[in-house]
Amino acid sequence: MDSSVQQFMSRLALSDNTQASTAEVSRRVAAGDLDWTGAVADAIASQGGSQAWQHEDLYLHLQRALAKTLGIGNIQLVVRLPLVLRPDVEREKFVTRLMAVELARHQSAEDLARAVFEAAPDPDVSYELRACLLHELVRRPVAVEEHPALRSFAAVLAADGHPLAQLPCHLLPLEQVERDSSWFPFGPVSRVPKEPLSTPLLARRRAADTTVTEVRDPDRAASIGTAVREWTEVSNGRVAAHVFTVQPPLDPRDFGALFGRLPLACRSDTPELWTTTADTVLDILRSAASSGGAYSNPLFGTYGRLAAWQSLAGLVGLSPQTPVPQIAREAEHTHWFLFDTEADWFDAVAWDLAIAALRPGGTSGEGQEIAVLAATDTD
């Protein structure tokens, strides 16, 4: 081992924090000192399962520094490093998705295609990292069809039946709406694009004879809640997913008069409602999944995108495995609403969302259907 690397490792093991060590790694990476950086990475990885906490902390910093610093050499080194220092499925999943985000955000598509996708499959390069990276590039967006190596790997994913193969290798119109970065996609509903929905007396009269029947379908409810599943499985969250049939059909302008009658524990007695659009709902779902709950790991961009489309499929009455363009078409024919999160059911910290959908026909082809997704989490 090079003496400077050996000295660095000795200092690291004795340090109370990694601030000085991470600063040196950042400086070396910025200077293009890949021999030294690679030697440090190998030295940490060679410790096997006995790593001190300093090693864990520095190793992730080193990976991110390489991923974020422009250059094909940095890419070639980071994608061949072990993703984690010890066997840990959840940790490896987290780091894989994070690395894909950082690489796609900071490196050129041309360098990534050459270093990761063009060469014959390298057993040291994670298949899952390549899958995530391909679809992070789609989100950038990169024209996959213009890069033969990317296009070829997309075909491999489809042939393998990989979950991400459900996603198109281009952004659909619902995903291309420019957002004002000042609004937080979930949490305080006041910041979300919407229009208030009034409920005049005449609307109440028209809706008075409407019959609402709840549909008990655990699989459908699970599909609707896909984007916030980890809020309940890993964190402190609660999710409410409901489906109702409506007879006779309701004018969407009268939705507020009917919504107040739905047996929902997650709404207040006189909920405030707003109309919104399919692209806004999709973005709320994507942000909820990508960012995660209070204590759950984020899914990051690629799997957050997939979870959002699968939740949207559930809300519009389709299977979560439905082709995404078909989900988009159904979503565009659905009336979308947001309702307030003032009820006691919501924790009202930062992780709150409340969505309702009114679609023209139910799964039986009769009448209309209302689907509701509400979620909340707290630290």
Partnered with residue 243 across adjacent β-strands are 371
pLDDT band at 364 (very low <50, low <70, confident <90, very high): very low
SS3 299: coil
pLDDT 10s digits, 51-103: 577 788 899 999 999 999 999 999 999 999 999 888 889 999 999 999 999 99
pLDDT 10s digits, 197-246: 877 777 777 778 888 999 999 999 999 999 999 999 999 999 999 999 99
Return the percentage of the chain with pLDDT > 70, whole number.
Answer: 92
Q: What is the pLDDT of residue 366?
A: 55
Tokens (6 digits) for 298: 């984020």
13-44 CB burial, b ≥16 within 10 A, e <16:
eeeeebeebbebbbebbeeeebebbbbbbebb
Give the strand order in the sheet containing 368-377. 195-196, 273-276, 335-339, 351-359, 368-377, 238-247, 211-214
Tokens (6 digits) for 362: 């139910």
Rounded Cα distance between 372 and 357, Å, is 6
Rounded Cα distance between 62 and 78, Å, is 9
Tokens (6 digits) for 220: 């459908």
Q: What is the pLDDT of residue 342?
A: 86
pLDDT band at 365 (very low <50, low <70, confident <90, very high): very low
pLDDT band at 12 (very low <50, low <70, confident <90, very high): confident
pLDDT band at 150 (very low <50, low <70, confident <90, very high): very high
pLDDT 10s digits, 108-140: 999 999 999 987 667 778 999 999 999 999 999
Q: Is the pLDDT of residue 192 over 80?
A: no
Rounded Cα distance between 187 and 273, Å, is 15
Q: What is the pLDDT of residue 363?
A: 45
Least confident residue range of 86-90, 150-154, 277-281: 86-90
Phi-psi region of 187 (alpha: psi -120 to 50; beta: other; left: phi over 0): left
**The amino acid at 133:** L
Q: What is the pLDDT of residue 286?
A: 93
Partnered with residue 358 across adjacent β-strands are 335, 370
Neighbouring C-alpha atoms within 13 Å toward the C-beta of 123: 0
